[in-house]
Amino acid sequence: MADALLALQSLMSFDLFGLMIVGITIGMIPGILPGIGGATTIALTLPFTVYLSELQTLVLLCSLYTGVGFGGSITSILVGIPGGGSAVAVMFDGHRMAKAGRADHALGASLGSVCMGNGIGALFLIFLIGPLATIALKFGPSEMLMVILLAVLMIGTIRGKSSFKGILTGLFGILIGTIGISPHGDERGTMDTIYLLDGFPAIALLVGMFTIPGMVEMCMVSTVQRKVHQGSSARALLRGMGAPLRHLRTALPSSLIGLWVGILPAVGGSVGSLLSYNVGRNISPRGQHFGTGDGEEEGIVACETANGADEGGSLGTLLVLGVPGGSTTAAMMGALMLQGWAIGPKLVADHWEVVRAAIWALMLQAILLVPIGFLFCYYAWRIVKLKTTVLVPMVGAIMVTGVFALRGQPLDVVIAVSFGMLAWLMQKTDYPPLNFVIGILLGRILEGELVRTFATFRGRWELMFAHPLFDLLLVGFLVMLVLTIRSEYQRTVNEREVLESLEVRKASQDV
Amino acid sequence: MLARLKLMAVLTAALVALPGGAMAQSNYPDRPITIVVSSAVGGSIDGLARQLAPYWEKALGGKINVENHEGAGGVVGVRYFLEQPDDGYTILICTEAHYTATVEKTGTVKTSDIELINMQQFTPTTWYVLENSRFKTLEDVIKEGKEKPDTITWGAPPTGNSTISAGVVEKGWGVDLRYVPQETGAATDTALLGGHIDIKVGTAGDITEVEGIRGLAVASKERVAHLPDVPTFNEVGSKLGLMAMPDIGTGRLISVRASVKANHPEIFQRLAEAYKAAFNDPAYQEVLKSTGQANSSAFNEPDAATTQFRELVDNAIKGKKEYAVSN
């Protein structure tokens, strides 16, 4: 405890608090721009960090990370354009709520959930950083495969009228995701172009496929918000922020899932939020209503607490193992190297004082995000009241800028727009573009783990089942599979009944 | 009249431009220099560039910017660099694997397109096992691999040239191992630490400082100075009468386009001298030491470095063809 107090004391300085506020605020702006994620933001900040001390650098980068993470949710909710993979899930309910005139409430729910997730993530890091990271090492290829498969299950639940079309679209996404260099180092489907060696740029596709249909849809209405907003938005925001507390039964497991997926090296944030969203659907009594009608705040809680906790988890892996979990933590690693730190498993031991203080800083950031995010949302939610004649060109310009800024490749913009038009066609013909995007996001890592599992256990599968961790995850996967199939079947039956009763009513009216 | 005026204007411009051009060279550098890095922010060569830049700036008396052009295993960055003007204001920092990939994929890029200022780091391919591994020596691996084929797992990314060493052991030495392809070098470390693979095929110098891991063998002519207890593959192989292991490893190089050296030798000289001063700056040496790169970093004269680089790439391209590992 004295240890912890000491760490807190080292944080109680004006400049560190200033850096946190600056980091969170600045981070939200690129977070809002689709395509520009944490990695780009940190890369842009790198040159300035040489003027800062080690702790200052770490605190600034962590608060940028926090800001970017929440900023991504804002556009996802307000205009239905996720800025990156981890902001996809919050759109399901958040954007529906925004359209129904509850944008402020949805933003509040997202903010509250992210803060809570952040806090839980930091808390776990403070007390359990060592053992957690060591257990993460025990996750081999077969265990990782199961975790990713759990997130892939999400594909089965997103659909229009036909489950078959939904699953087919997901598989098509996975197929397109295989373009590039295979896990074995072979080129596949690149048509001998250098451009396709890394595959289609996933983030550019994602941004294009949500933006273009979104823009077309916005052209049909005068404002994003279909219903007129009632009452004070500050009160609605505050009420929204209470959402994770109202749904603790969803918030706590989701936070733990997010934290855990964050800890696993090389699994991005999109896995955590999709996985916990799907778990939430199955454990919540109102799960059936997630992502339907006017949206459920509990759906936002399910994915956003995971997103918040993911940050703590991936930082833990970076600091304890010296292994970056994603592109954002890789960029942070670069910043630490510039501070003269040797990256690797000895990092924590070498710089324990600074690392411990930075972890406590995460906790303070979760608290600071509440007022900063509140102020931000208080003004930002009004975007949904903007005339679409103003909003649509703005969104288009931001999309092109964001996609181009990501890698500086003009062709990326062409690809994003083309796939965007494809997505619009898909939507019209009842093939959900969302599944295509999830397929691309998860397909690549899914295949990598599949190849490694096969390479490790080919011809000696009994060794794989000898891992208790794998068996546990396999059982978990099978349970989730059965639950998902059951709930989807139930939904189909319900929908059919509603349709039939409508037809009966229509028939009786005709008579 | 108008035509004559135009001609005069052109002539005057030419007169002004000529000495101006010559002056620009003697004033080199009169504008910022760009280092093109062929990996993303946070990669090892990105760290090298950003740590080196301030010391090089000091020695050169000019500004140096670092730009990342990552993608396609380094091909994007190397190609971008080769498209920049050869006026000495663009420098490339890449790995030899990035350059090898560019030569292989494009078919038009050659090793003679660049001249090295230095191969700042060269680390021979090294095999690692966990401290408590059942393999005490490389002989143990050979013995068990022959008795129980296809059971010992090893990991490394499929791109790059470290897989060649395993290809030689498999095809040349007749030891049947099992390859588990990894995404990156860092992911390979994690897989070894978690016990998911038996052997990590990496390079001397990257995780040698890590507790719980020890080297098994290095693929170089002589033992590596900071790993005195780790034998070379050839020490072990010659005892058992096995074929020789070629010299393979990973290099991190600093280079300019070959035409810079050919057309502006004085600029090349200036860059190389300033680099040497920066490299030998005690403050920079201290940085190398604190980040665990001191053992693998060295200054070689540009000509020697260029020769070493060209051999390395040739060996890698040949080795990857002859000793491709089976999946």
Which residue from A179, A159, A173, A160 is spatially nearest to A209, judged by alpha carbons?
A: A173
Q: Are strands B90-95 and B213-218 parallel, antiparallel or unpaired?
A: unpaired
- Which chain B positions have a beta carbon within 8 Å of A197's beta carbon? 71-73, 75, 105
CA distance A452 to A141: 6
pLDDT at B16: 46
Mutation target for A interface from B38, B180, B206: give the one with most A CBs within 10 A: B180
B272-299: pLDDT as tens digits: 999 999 999 999 998 888 777 887 888 9
Tell whether the model's pLDDT for residue A187 goes beyond 70: yes
Range with lowest mean pLDDT among A33-47, A413-427, A443-457:
A33-47
Contact criterion met (CB < 8 Å) for B179 and A448: no
pLDDT at B20: 41
Q: Which residues contact A367 (CB under 8 A, 6 or more apart)?
A: A115, A119
pLDDT at A233: 80
pLDDT at B24: 46
Over residues B223-248, the mean pLDDT reads 88
CA distance B42 to B51: 12
CA distance A338 to B46: 10
Question: Two tokens at A509?
Answer: 């009216």
Estimate the crossing angle of helix A14-32 against helix A54-79, to 10 degrees. Answer: 30
Residue by residue, DSSP assigns A267-335 as: --HHHHHHHHHHHHHHHSTTGGGTTSTT--HHHHHHHHHHHHHHHHHHHHHHHHH---SSHHHHHHHHH
SS3 at position B130: strand
Q: Please report how many Cα atoms fall inside a 13 Å half-sphere around the Cα of residue B189, on the Cβ side.
A: 23
Over residues A211-227, the mean pLDDT reads 83
CA distance B68 to A39: 12
Tell whether the model's pLDDT for residue A371 goes beyond 90: yes
pLDDT band at A312 (very low <50, low <70, confident <90, very high): confident
AA letter at A437: V
Contact status of A198 with chain B (Cβ, < 8 Å)? yes
Tell whether the model's pLDDT for residue A12 goes beyond 80: no
pLDDT at B18: 45
Range with lowest mean pLDDT among A238-247, B38-47, B76-85:
B38-47
- d(CA B216, nearest CA chain A) in Å: 20
The percent of residues above 70 in pLDDT, for chain A, comes to 91
**What average pLDDT does the structure give for chain B?**
85
The percent of residues above 90 in pLDDT, for chain A, comes to 24
Q: A482 forms bridges with which residues in the sheet?
A: none
CA distance A242 to A349: 39
User: Residues of A numbered 272-331 whose beta carbons fall under 8 angstroms of chain B's beta carbons: which are they?
Assistant: 321-324, 327, 330-331
Mutation target for A interface from B36, B41, B98, B320: give the one with most A CBs within 10 A: B41
More reliable by pLDDT, B139 or A316: B139
pLDDT band at A1 (very low <50, low <70, confident <90, very high): low
Which residue from A258, A315, A230 is spatially nearest to A90, judged by alpha carbons?
A: A258
pLDDT at B81: 95
Tell whether the model's pLDDT for residue B57 goes beyond 90: yes
Tell whether the model's pLDDT for residue A215 goes beyond 50: yes
pLDDT at B220: 87
| Residue in A265, A331, A345 nearest the CB of B210 | A345
Over residues A343-355, the mean pLDDT reads 74
Backbone angles phi, psi at B27, to 5 degrees: -90, 5
Q: Which residue does chain A place closest to B196, by CA atoms?
A: A140
Estimate the crossing angle of helix A38-49 against helix A327-338, to 10 degrees. Answer: 10
Over residues A276-286, the mean pLDDT reads 86
A162-180: pLDDT as tens digits: 888 888 999 999 999 899 8
Tell whether the model's pLDDT for residue B202 goes beyond 70: yes
CB A180 within 8 A of CB A199: yes
What ipTM was predicted for this assembly?
A: 0.81
SS3 at position A430: coil
CA distance B13 to A138: 71
Q: Which residues contact A341 (CB under 8 A, 6 or more apart)?
A: A54, A347, A350, A351, B291
Tell whether the model's pLDDT for residue B25 goes beyond 60: no
A230-262: pLDDT as tens digits: 667 888 889 999 999 999 999 999 999 998 888
Highest mean pLDDT among B11-15, B29-33, B202-206: B29-33
pLDDT band at A483 (very low <50, low <70, confident <90, very high): confident
CB A355 within 8 A of CB A319: yes
Range with lowest mean pLDDT among A47-56, A59-68, B98-107:
A47-56
A101-132: pLDDT as tens digits: 888 899 999 999 999 999 999 888 888 877 77
pLDDT at B5: 52
pLDDT at A511: 55
CB A36 within 8 A of CB A83: yes
pLDDT at A322: 67
